[in-house]
Amino acid sequence: MKNKKYSIIYSSLTGNTKVLADAIHEALPQDECEYFGVSDTVIPSSELLYIGFWTDKGNADTKTLQLLSQLKNKQIFLFGTAGFGGSDIYFRKILNQVKQFVDASKCYRRRVYVSGQNAAVCLGTLLEK
């Protein structure tokens, strides 16, 4: 990866996805963070994007889907939260829906999905691995 910088972009309805975004931000080198915040009209130049979303009717929220459909040649780490449906099957179904909006030129590093209320605990465990 030429550009070592990363960006964390998220959309949070209840604050649970922001909790995940904050935890990711704290776990990564601060001096390499190009952008941290909510979806904007400007796409960061970072090659690595951590993109967080909340679930809306079995898919990512509209703002996140619009962002994903605009991206090309980026490495993506998707993370999301859901207020209900605690099974892996349910989470995989949502991620499969979201992936339909992602251009094939992207390379996934990892995908994380957790129940909204357990966001910080679940992500903390994943980042330790």
Structural domains of the chain ordered from first start: 6-128 (3.40.50.360)
Mean pLDDT of 45-55: 91
What value, to the nearest 5°, has the Cα angle with vertex 38 and ends 34 and 44?
Answer: 35
Residues in the chain: 129
pLDDT at residue number 126 = 42
Tokens found for residue 11: 């959309």
Confidence of residue 117 (pLDDT cuts 50, 70, 90): low
CA distance 112 to 75: 15
Mean pLDDT of 45-59: 90
pLDDT at residue number 7 = 96
Burial bucket for residue 111 (CB in 10 Å: 0-12, 13-18, 19+): middle
Taking all residues of the chain, what is their mean pLDDT, rounded to a whole number? 79
pLDDT at residue number 40 = 74
pTM confidence score: 0.78
